[in-house]
Every structure is written in structure tokens, then in C-alpha cells.
Amino acid sequence: MNLVIAEKPSVAQSIAKVLGCNDKQDGYLSGGGYLVSWCVGHLVELAEPETYDSKYETWKKEDLPIIPDVFQYQVTAATRKQFKVLKDLLHRDDVDCVTNACDAGREGELIFRLVYDEAKCNKPMKRLWISSMEDEAIRDGFAGLKDGQKYDRLYEAALCRERADWIVGINATRLFSSLYGQTLNVGRVMTPTLALTVAREAEIRAFRPEDFYTVILSTEIGDLGSKRFSDREEAKELLIKCTLAGKLTITKAEKKEKQEKAPALFDLTTLQREANKRLGYTAQQTLDYTQSLYEKKLVSYPRTDSRYLTDDMEASLPNLIAKAERVSGLKPTEAQDHHCVINSKKVTDHHAIIPTASVDKADLSELPTGEREVLRLIATRLLEAVSSPCIYAEVVLEGECENERFGAKGKTVIDAGWKGVAKISEKKKDNPDDTPLGDISSLHEGDEIKITQAGVKAGKTTPPKSYTEDLYCKG
């Protein structure tokens, strides 16, 4: 008998359905030579300091640092009943194999192994490693179960992170709480993140805007701007000189056709950034929505750091693209490059996040708004990723007048390519050099062009932007 342990009841039910486990028992399902049960999040967690020594019940600086020689674990009170179900199943005489069907990632490995170890089980261990909750993916996964010991290092990595969080959190929280006489929660990740945010906000509050002035020379080709002057009179002086000169000497007139390749598919981080930028969702909201879509068999596994698909998936791409079109209501460009999203060498545990083959069977109107929007975002990115590059012409025009440099840059889209798939308008930066320019093909270095109008444009420096989850992830 193979005991299968999933991370959540909903996932266990999906697996049980595929395996033919139709008999409902107290805390598990059975049938077809399988028992299928589940965890409820972390059933087993690190023990509190007072478990090691009663003196730690009182927080004292003198007792720090607390670093156990051997870490102890405990079953949480809220999940003790389900742990007992699992422990009893693990020790059943007819169970000769245990399959870890928790989420195929570091945290899922930790959840299962802690239960397995706490129950003192030593039966052979298998690993279900899938990137989709579709029935076919589950069947294929069970047809090729992995040796559980193959994932020992993944488990060890999870232990390292968990224990690092405990050591830093317990000791730093107790230290600063003792020093300042109030509870101050300190964490390995949250505290440095909070420090960055506080420092940025302090920088913003301390910022004092400064005036600056730019001389703008208008010509038949377009407007060219000077450097910034902090003194208005200095800018006015240059303005008068250029007005009297009446002409600008060309020092550079360059036009280049450039391409911007389509973006790669989403990994979790880039999906969270894009959802924050386009939809205003936090990283946690995006993860929650995507995890729910995964459990509903509509997208692939979310906790991935890969932005590519494996070589064996290339044949299925046309079908997935057609389904992504129906979900998003959009179309990729006529010229497509499917091979650009395929690269097995850049896929580690899981491929990029994409819609599944079952996605077109879902009634999108029944999905919560957040899940529906994230699903469309994922489908749109697949269409963008296989589309042709955006082709544009970049024009750089520079000139000199009264020993001062003036410049302008222009950008004209020749073929929107992938950027035309979703037709998302980009915000233009307030940059005096970013200006529409006419035809420069006849201009050469040394040519002189007439100044038709001149003026001084006033501006103010702006503070750095507050961190958003998109801006913070960019670094």
C-alpha cells in the first residue's frame, strides 16, 4: 500500500480522484492500492526556547544568544489531530511505501519531512514532482515517482533557512525588546527590508526641491535642450547669446534602427512585479492568487525561478498559445518564435509559469477578480513572449551654440511587435531631451541649422520614489 501525503486537503482530493481513492475515511481517502492524506500547513514546527530550559520563559539579555545544540520540534496544538492521523497511517502494517506529494519545492519538502521524521517513520520514501495539478500531469507523475532521498539537499536547504529564521528572530527580538523595554519583532528578512524602506522615506522627507533652468532652442527639425543651470540669469545669458547667433552647428546626427526583444516568460518574482505595476497587487496577493489558480489546474507551479520551458514542451506550444488567446482575448504577432521560450538548460526544478492545457475549460466569470486578472496576465505574457521584437528608430541630434552643447533624442516605433499584443501604453519620462524630431537624414556634422525660437524652461528636482513591491524587486 502506498501512502500519499499532500500539503492541503484540496490537493489531496485532486490526487485521490486521479488514483481512484473514492472511500472517505477520517482524515484520509483510500482505494486502488493507495491511501491519500494531507497536512494542514506546518503540522510540525520548531519548539520555543522555554522547551529547552524554563529560564527562557523570561526574556533576559544575559541569556542570549540562544543556539540549541540539537533543535527540537513540536506538533502544533491546532493540528494535533491530523498529525495523529498521519502518524497512524505511517505505521500501518500494510503501508510499505510513503509518497511525498506536498508542493514540489523547498517548503513542501520541509512540511513533509518534518512529519515523516517526527513520526519516526523509516519506510521507503518516494517523491511526486509535478509542475501542474492537471489529471494528466498527476498520472504522469505517479508513473515516474522519484526516489525521495534525491531531494535530501532540498530538505537540508529548507532546514537551514528555517533555523536561520529562528536563531535571528528569537535572539534579535529578545535583545532589542530587553534593551528598549517593549516588544520589538526582529526578523532575518523583514528587518533589513524595513530598514531600506525607512531610509528611503527619511531621504524623501529630507529632500528639498531645487530650481533648475534649461535653455530650449527650437529648429525646423525639433527642439534641443541645454544642460541644467541652477542660476536663472546664467540660463538667460546663454539664451540671449543663442538668440543673437541665430544658428546651431550640428555635432551629431544619428539615426539607428533598434529592436527590443520580447520579454521572457514569468517566474514568480517577475509575475509579482508585473502584477504590482499593472494591477496594484502585493507580492503576497499575487502568490496567493497564483497558488489558487495552480490548485484549480489553470496555471503551472508558481514557486519557480525559471523563465523558460523545457525542450519537450515545444510541440505543445501552439495548443497552449491558442488557449491563451481565448483566455486573454488577445493575439500574438503573426511572426512568432516559439524556440525563444524553450531552454531546458535554464530550467531547474520547475519551468516558467504558464497557463495549463485545461485553462480553456474554466468559466472565468466564476473566478474571483484577482485570480481572473492574474490568469489573464500570465496568458498575455505567453503571447508576448513568442511574438516578434518591437522595432523602432532612435534619433540622436546634438549641436553646439555659443560653446554650449544642446541635444535631443527621439524614438519612433516602426513595428510595435510584442508591445502591440496588450497595447499597454508606457508612461513617458519628463525629460527635456525626449522630444519628437523630424527627418535628420540630410544633416551631417558641421551643418548649420536656423534657430526659429528660443526660451528658458524652468523645472524642479524631484525626490526619489517611495519603494513599491515592483521598484523594490528591481533593486
Q: Which among 472, 471, 260, 268 is positioned nearest to 378, based on CA atoms?
A: 268
Catalytic residue among 301, 308, 467, 472: 301
Pull the grid cell for residue 247. 544658428
155 and 109 Cβ atoms separated by less than 8 Å? yes
> In sequence order, what are the beta bridge partners of 257?
393
> Would you call 301 a catalytic residue per the annotation?
yes
Which residues neighbour 287 within 8 Å (Cβ) at sequence distance 6 or greater? 268, 272, 302, 303
Instruction: Evaluate the omega torsion of the peptide bond into residue 65 and state whether it is cis, within 30 degrees of 0.
Output: yes
Catalytic residues: 301
